[in-house]
Structure 1
Amino acid sequence: MKPKPLSKDFYSFLIFFSSVSCIIALIQSVALVVIGSQMIGLQSFDSWMWLVLCVIAVTNVAFIRYLAHVGYRWTAYACAASSLAVFFQYTLILDRELRVFYQEHYHAVASILFGSALLWGLSLTFTKASEKRWLRLSGSLTIIIAISLATLFFLYFQTGEGSTKLLIDKTSRWVSLFGVLPSVCLIIHFYQENEQLSPTGHARAHTFPALLKLAAFVGLLFFGFRFSVEAVGYSMPYKPSANDLRRSKLVDAYHFVDKSGDSLHYRLLKPVDYDSTRQYPLIVCLHHGGAHGKDNMQQLSADPAPFLMELPTRTKYPAFIFMPQSPKGLGFSGAYGSASVDSLVFRTIRQLVGRLPIDRKRIYVMGISGGGYGSWHFISMHPELFAAAIPICGGGDPKYGPQLVNVPIWAFHGARDRLAPVSHSRDMINAIRRAGGKPKYTEYEFAGHGIWDKVGEEEIMEWMFAQHKE
């Protein structure tokens, strides 16, 4: 028996939410192209993601109902699997504790996403659903995009070259932008089917679907506007403030270029009352994620640089302060296989040690957030180089714990940090302690990610300058 056709109201509902989902996907893809993974750090990100989850849930439930009604059973199963995979990923990103699992099992989660998307595309292309031209085209586009992204993902983690990683990452962002095309095909399909239905007269509107539409529309206007404005603001060219310009006049700007042509911008501040016949400590100051670029200036205003540059601090603790700037798309740690500028930093350090009166027994590293991860990474890669480290809101690979037993470390973290999970610091500290080391660790119970003001009140300089290699 042929099933009764779905109502025009249902098609209207499905077209509306499919359109909202398409607009959401476009906004998010454009943000990804413009600022990349940095959008996770936007203040509006969590509220935006809850809107995304709700709209996806309503849209996919309606779509699965449609597929089941018209007899596309296997396609409905594939749609459900793909929806669950997306929900799984977004849940991991939104939850502070689960985000740790997501970061540690990123490859597995990505494989599930690519696999479920490919299954969804195949179900539209090679099952009964392929009888409908726009469904078949949507499936074909989904297959092409899923395979392309999976290939780029594989290549990204196979290459160790920073510039190549940046190119692959940029390419994958643009490919993701075309991910809205399959949704457009679905909207066209639903619109055509809706046009083929006979008018049913003025049926009474159902309250609940109408409320869902209103909520989605208002949510898109409010949260979409906030998210878009913040993303655009984040992507705007850096405009130095009066304080930035003042600081920049105090610190010499340099540009290191290695034999392969890769370059690193950095600033170097000499000790107060510099005496070339004396030896001074070297402080490697690693900025957070908000200071990436090529202007060679933003890192001067990124904690902990302003603290180290204060005259009372420099007078009491004279040292060379080395402040490298990581380009956008790169980091100091290469965490989870991401592109890193670490090798350039180490080469620059070796160059500085060779031409300046630096005490090789007193080279220190400190940084916050991305710089905190970089601090852990630096001492893990070259524990013989550093006399002490102060990683703040960071983390590393616990397998390096035994190598850090003899490195003086004072780590800091906020227990309620949503950007850098506190477990990342805890795991490193516990790994070192299990190996017999005695690192210092301060955790602020009620603090989040912004803990520098608290850290700056600690006796970190006194502790750090008391450390030296034998």
Structure 2
Amino acid sequence: MNNLIYRMKQNLLIVSGCLFLSMTAYTQDFSAFESKQLIHRGDTLPYRILYPENYDSQGNYPVLFFLHGAGERGNDNAKQLTHGAKLFLTDSMRHSFPAIVIFPQCPVDSYWSNVDIQSQVEGKREFYFRTSGRPSTGMALFLKLMKHTLKNEAVDENRIYIGGLSMGAMGTYEALRRKPKVFAAAFAICGGDHTFNVRKYAHVPLWIFHGEQDDVVPPTHSHAIVAELKRLGASPKYTFYPTANHNSWDAAFAEPELLPWLFSHIKQ
């Protein structure tokens, strides 16, 4: 009996150790993203910045701004790295695309874009995107961060990029319409915008992603943007995943051509 109890304890220790090692293997070290913050008129925007290896402050680097989703809002300057950050830490990315990568964090009581959200039956929501008006606190702070970055970092102003997911994709569209002359290319995952705004960024190369089963942000928003871009004579790149729900960013980040496509564009 004692031997049986002993073996059970040993097996439990082995299983616990395996679980710990498994969890450790999946823990991502984001320390390469330096922690900084922008303070403007009493408001604070935390952000994390990843510099290229052997960064030269007198150099000339592309810069990518990434806008997170609603679930990562806050002021811990960490949650915004939950989705997408590890993509930029791979050796292949850092060697092939030496770029400055910035993840700002939206305040918990704000939103990247000016959109009215109304709850519907069965927990669904309707999104009503605005076509004018002052930017939200989150977007205003982001625009200040963008200006600060272009002034103080070693940025190639012909290679400025933006991307985001969900709320961040909505913010991506809004940043494009507010600063249509800034960006060389962009990508938007499971987002949306008012089709009236599309004409303002139709000239910007854009890759749009969405899951056809998305029950949080309806894929009809992305389909409408693609259709309007085509109507305006643009040639957007788009990928709709037939079985993906709202987390279509997993599939989008796994696209081997995403970063090569993005960084291949240079603003004319």
Where on the TM-score scale, by shorter chain, does this alignment land: which range? 0.7 to 0.9
- What is the Cα deviation at residue 387 of structure 1? 0.7
How far apart, in 2, do the equivalents of 1:296 and 1:468 lie?
A: 30
Residue matched to 2:199: 402
1:325 aligns with 2:105: yes
1:430 maps to a residue whose letter is: A
Native 8 Å contact 1:362 1:469 kept in 2: yes
- What is the Cα deviation at residue 276 of structure 1? 2.6
Residue matched to 1:295: 76
1:263 counterpart (28, 36, 44)? 44
1:465 maps to a residue whose letter is: F
How far apart, in 2, do the equivalents of 1:408 and 1:341 lie?
A: 24
Counterpart secondary structure, 2:31 = helix
Structure 1's 348 and 414: CA in aligned 2 closer, same or farther, altered over 3 A?
same
Residue matched to 2:180: 383
2:142 counterpart (331, 345, 356)? 345
1:247 aligns with 2:29: yes
Residue matched to 1:411: 208
1:250 maps to a residue whose letter is: A
Counterpart secondary structure, 2:48 = strand
Can you list the C-alpha shifts for 1:137-195, whole angstroms capped at 9, x where unaligned?
Answer: xxxxxxxxxxxxxxxxxxxxxxxxxxxxxxxxxxxxxxxxxxxxxxxxxxxxxxxxxxx
Q: How many residues align?
A: 228
Calculate the TM-score normalised by the size of structure 1. Answer: 0.46
Counterpart secondary structure, 1:284 = strand
Counterpart secondary structure, 1:354 = helix
Residue matched to 1:460: 258
1:460 maps to a residue whose letter is: L
Native 8 Å contact 1:247 1:300 kept in 2: no
How far apart, in 1, do the equivalents of 2:197 and 2:223 lie?
A: 14
- What is the Cα deviation at residue 368 of structure 1? 1.1
Hey, which of these two has a bigger chunk of helix by percent?
1
Residue matched to 2:124: none
Residue matched to 2:54: 273
- What is the Cα deviation at residue 277 of structure 1? 3.1
Task: Map 1:10-409 onto structure 2 (within 5 A).
Answer: 247-258=29-40, 260-301=41-82, 303-336=83-116, 339-409=136-206
How far apart, in 2, do the equivalents of 1:306 and 1:419 lie?
A: 24
2:67 maps to a residue whose letter is: L
1:254 maps to a residue whose letter is: K
Native 8 Å contact 1:244 1:298 kept in 2: no
Listed as ranges, the gaps of 5+ residues in structure 2 are 1-22, 117-133
1:421 aligns with 2:202: no
Counterpart secondary structure, 2:29 = helix
Counterpart secondary structure, 1:349 = helix
How far apart, in 2, do the equivalents of 1:370 and 1:314 lie?
A: 27
- What is the Cα deviation at residue 329 of structure 1? 2.1
Structure 1's 416 and 311: CA in aligned 2 closer, same or farther, altered over 3 A?
same
Can you list the C-alpha shifts for 1:321-377, whole angstroms capped at 9, x where unaligned?
Answer: 111001112111122299540011011111111111101111111111111111111
Structure 1's 242 and 384: CA in aligned 2 closer, same or farther, altered over 3 A?
farther
How far apart, in 2, do the equivalents of 1:351 and 1:242 lie?
A: 36
Listed as ranges, the gaps of 5+ residues in structure 1 are 1-240
Native 8 Å contact 1:405 1:435 kept in 2: yes
1:466 maps to a residue whose letter is: S
Calculate the TM-score normalised by the size of structure 2. Answer: 0.80
Native 8 Å contact 2:169 2:189 kept in 1: yes
Percentage of identical aligned residues: 32
Structure 1's 274 and 243: CA in aligned 2 closer, same or farther, altered over 3 A?
farther
- What is the Cα deviation at residue 388 of structure 1? 0.6
How far apart, in 1, do the equivalents of 2:225 and 2:34 lie?
A: 35
How far apart, in 2, do the equivalents of 1:242 and 1:265 lie?
A: 27
How far apart, in 1, do the equivalents of 2:189 and 2:37 lie?
A: 27
How far apart, in 2, do the equivalents of 1:334 and 1:405 lie?
A: 20
Across the aligned residues of Structure 1 and Structure 2, the Cα RMSD in angstroms comes to 2.1
- What is the Cα deviation at residue 311 of structure 1? 2.9
- What is the Cα deviation at residue 378 of structure 1? 1.1
1:256 maps to a residue whose letter is: L
Native 8 Å contact 2:56 2:154 kept in 1: no
Native 8 Å contact 1:293 1:327 kept in 2: yes
1:299 maps to a residue whose letter is: Q
Hey, which of these two has a bigger chunk of strand by percent?
2
Residue matched to 2:236: 439
Native 8 Å contact 2:28 2:86 kept in 1: no
Structure 1's 242 and 249: CA in aligned 2 closer, same or farther, altered over 3 A?
farther
